[in-house]
Chains A and B, each alone.
Chain A
Amino acid sequence: DIQMTQSPSTLSASVGDRVAITCRASQSISSWLAWYQQKPGKVPKLLIYEASSLESGVPSRFSGSGYGTEFTLTISSLQPDDSASYYCQHYNSFPLSFGGGTKVEIK
């Protein structure tokens, strides 16, 4: 089974900062990776699929990169609305799995 490890688990940054979240897979998953955002008390929302494809309607300050075992979700200019938890998910093979999550806080 493929394990997904996210870092950091918590991140605190100021409005306007560039923020990066890392997701590492225990074996190669090509580009079969998605990122989700979950605001407090809300349902997860798809941000990015296939490692770098931005879902329709998602602000362009979000971007994804990576291939193989290491991936990054970047927020180019952090906004107050970005306060949330972020999860990666691999879909290379079954069983599917999520990373443990990264909580992004605004200073």
Chain B
Amino acid sequence: EAQLVESGGGVVQPGRSLRLTCAGSGFNFVDYAVSWVRQAPGRGLEWLGLVRSRTYGGTVEYAASVKGRFTISRHDSESLAFLQMNSLKTEDTAMYYCVRGLTIPGAKYWFDPWGQGTLVTVSS
């Protein structure tokens, strides 16, 4: 069974950085895109970005709201993906989900499964 597990969340002061890690298991991690989605308390889902599989160049796409502050990367040999978050703001407080990107044939992505999420709280 495909599974994703996030780690690295916690409480951080505004302006600081945090790196989240996503560990994949139960599937061939190298063959899939990985995306990050967040959900602020009591709010809806916000797509943050996606890193394609090596087959499709391993390139990254970002939402405008985080481009330049957040960086997504992957380390296929360890089935890991990362979300590096810099210059954090109070409005970045949210549950952060790692999701596997399903695709046909490498340009259209929907998500399954979702990790359990890791909570990031930005507060002084």
Contacts and interface: CB of A to CB of B under 8 A. Distances in A.
A77 B50 CA distance: 36
Contacts, number: 59
Contacts of A32: 108
Interface of A: 1, 32, 34, 36, 38, 43-46, 49, 55, 85, 87, 89, 91-92, 94-101
B111 A97 contact: no
B32 to A, nearest CB: 14
A105 to B, nearest CB: 16
B82 interface: no
B109 A95 contact: no
B11 interface: no
Q: Tell me the interface secondary structure of chain B in the complex.
A: strand
Given A91-B110, A101-B45, A43 B115 contact: yes
Nearest to B49: A95
A43 B44 contact: no
B64 A95 contact: yes
Nearest to B67: A95
A46 B109 CA distance: 12
Nearest to A98: B45
Contacts of B29: none
Q: Tell me the interface secondary structure of chain A in the complex.
A: loop
Contacts of A92: 108
Contact of B110 (A1, A45, A89, A94): A89
A91 B102 CA distance: 11
Contact of A100 (B44, B63, B116, B117): B44
Interface in B59-118: 61-64, 97, 102, 108-117
Contacts of A94: 50, 61
A38 B110 CA distance: 15
B112 A46 contact: yes
A89 B46 CA distance: 10
Nearest to B65: A95
B115 A96 contact: no
A19 B37 CA distance: 27
